[in-house]
Amino acid sequence: MFKSLSVSHIAAGLTAVVVGYSSAVVLVIEAARAAGASPGMVVSWLFALGIGMGLSCIVFSLRYKIPVVTAWSTPGAAFLLSAAAAFPLSEVIGAFIVAGLCALACAQSRALTRLITDIPTNIASALLAGIVLPICLNIFVDVTEAPLVTAIFVATYIIAGHIIPRYLMLLLLVLGVGYSIWLGDLTELNWQAGIATPVWVSPDFSVASAISLGLPLFLITMLSQNVPGMAILKSYDFKPDHKTVLSGLGALQIMLGPLGGFAFNYAAITAAICMGEDAGHKREHRYLAAVVAGGAYIGLGLAAGFVVTLFTHMPDVVIHLLAGLALLGTLQSALFNSMMPERYRKAALMTLVCTASGMTLFKLGAPVWGLGLGLLMITLERTRYKKIASAANTQVNNQ
């Protein structure tokens, strides 16, 4: 393996980690804080996620000799950021385990997998759009107090997005760190070197948290991460045993959930970095790029204390800008897909606005109600369409 390792493998693996990590680490930290995690627990979240992603990348890539890149669920983190505050931290942790059990069960059953993946794409996309929309709106929430900073970040996003799109979020991250140093928010900190310490939180379970947090987290991760991730693997003609991989990821979530490992899944966009020609000319050796990515994830997990110190002391305006701009691409694709096909746009729109509202009713969060309303409207629309089609066929036969 080491004889085949090349600079291309190292560059591709590290690039995938930098792109994925820099675009979503703010969301994960803010989701942990919204859930009520203490500073030590926030460190534990990133530790658990880094170790879980790293081990799964390395083990599955070596097992199948193909680039299997895993990740945390960025849409899942965005969902937790908006929904976790309504429950005690112990119930949030319990919801992670419920989501892991759902993922494990889904991997074992083709019928259940088919049922989940048969949820209309436009409804799933509308659900995702409703979750990330409030976070994207925060891009401009501080414009009155910090107009210049907002303008600089937005201008950088627009210009760099055309010139160096792959490294856009890394550039914004550097810009955010630089601004925080200039304000003095980071220079006076007591940086602590050392390996991160995991913190165990005993889970509690309730019907409300399972339905409002666990089930939506599973669905969001499955539909917005695992399904696209499997599609990307298929597009490059890489064929791991999805049942084994998804089962392993579900088991990881169950084991690491009490430490903050809220979701493990196939990577989507960043996975492609380790699959193309940039990851090495010899196709049979490209799995080494995913192994390098796994090693980098483990390193970041062990250094989680440094990462959390860096991000938790950034100004709120920087956090809002980084999180919102990171999800703009997700919001764009989700909005586009939610409006297709035209016949189901009303159902998708209802799902979107209900989810974005942040409402809670009978201890069930907005995503649950949004998904339910959308599916109900589509069911009614399909029933109406079948009746119209049946009447038309009857009329033709009578003629």
Confidence of residue 18 (pLDDT cuts 50, 70, 90): confident
Residue 118, pLDDT score: 74
CA dist., res. 227 & res. 43, Å (int): 29
Please tell me the distance from the alpha carbon of residue 347 to that of residue 385, in angstroms, as a whole number. Answer: 14
Average pLDDT over residues 32-45: 92
Higher pLDDT, 292 or 127: 292
d(CA 20, CA 14): 10
Per residue in 76-111, pLDDT (tens digit) is 998 998 889 989 999 999 999 999 999 999 998 887
Ranges 32-36, 54-58, 221-225: which has the least confidence = 221-225
Range scoring the smallest mean pLDDT among 42-46, 77-81, 104-108, 389-393: 389-393
Using CA atoms, how far apart are residues 340 and 338, in angstroms rounded to an integer? 6
The reported pLDDT for the residue numbered 110 is: 80
For residue 259, what are its two tokens? 């430490």
Q: Is the pLDDT of residue 33 over 80?
A: yes
**Under 8 Å CB-to-CB from 277, ≥6 apart: which residues?**
none
Instruction: Please determine, for residue 163, whether its predicted confidence score (pLDDT) is greater than 60.
Output: yes
Q: Residues 39-49: what's their mean pLDDT?
A: 93
**What's the CA gap between 121 and 344, in Å, rounded?**
10
Alpha helices, DSSP H, located in the chain: 7-34, 39-64, 74-83, 89-108, 110-117, 121-137, 147-163, 168-183, 207-209, 215-221, 227-235, 242-256, 269-273, 287-302, 304-312, 316-326, 328-338, 345-357, 366-398
Q: Distance from CA of residue 324 to its chain's centroid?
A: 14
% the chain with pLDDT above 90: 36
**Closest to 69 in 3D by CA, of 108, 19, 111:** 19
Q: CA–CA separation, 123 vs 337, rounded Å?
A: 9
Give the mean pLDDT of the chain.
85
Rounded Cα–Cα distance for residues 335 and 122 (Å): 9
Residue 215 CA neighbour count, 13 Å, CB half:
16
Rounded to an integer, the average pLDDT of 49-72 is 94
Instruction: Count the Cβ atoms, other than its own, within 10 Å of residue 160.
Output: 17
Question: How sure is the predictor about 188, in pLDDT bands with cuts at 50, 70 and 90?
Answer: low
Highest mean pLDDT among 51-55, 184-188, 236-240: 51-55
pLDDT in tens, 194-235: 678 899 999 999 999 999 999 999 998 988 888 878 877 876
As to burial, measured by CB atoms within 10 angstroms (0-12 exposed, 13-18 middle, 19+ buried), residue 21 is buried
pLDDT the model gives residue 64: 93
- Please check whether residue 262 is in contact with residue 67, taking contact to mean a CB–CB distance below 8 angstroms: no
pLDDT at 345 over 80: yes
10/292 Cα distance (integer angstroms) = 6
Question: From CA 258, how far away is CA 278, in angstroms rounded?
Answer: 37
